Structure 1
């Protein structure tokens, strides 16, 4: 079955908490959405590649989230774990239009 890129509304930009994660379920995907201190919005897979920790519950510092289970540092830009840890999570494009935030996912 061919997947289609969908633009899914996840909320109002002004209502997203800064430097805190929000969990969003889209089809079969669980996504962590973050509003960084810079105002940028990032969306990544909501599970640490190490032991599956919920990244939306982690601390944000700059452009990284720290897994709440074992403190792995994951980039919210490319999904890569910082060395010496290894692993990666999926990342999703985000659009902001008329004050609303959309995540782009293949469903």
Structure 2
């Protein structure tokens, strides 16, 4: 399986895994992908997971890292400012809050 993204959308036929670069699909109002790389990863098509549960991306996790923020940031590597991550008047935050309310999340 190819583990490296090869552009905006990468699909592995062998593992039936879809990897989409968030910066490529988010609207311009979504500022966070410009500051912090992110990916949407999942099995495709989704109906195949019902027949083959081993395709569930949740059971394929091989590592999880927890970074100690006190020791992580240094003089040459600064944290992204909170106002850049969560800008005032963020239209996407409004959309997410509306969806959260609508679906009771």
Decide: shared fold, TM above 0.5.
no
TM-score scaled by structure 1? 0.28
TM-score scaled by structure 2? 0.29
Q: Considering fraction of residues, name the structure with more strand.
A: 1
Q: Considering fraction of residues, name the structure with more helix.
A: 2
The structure showing larger relative contact order (alpha-carbon pairs under 8 Å, at least 6 residues apart) is 1
Higher alpha-carbon Rg: 2
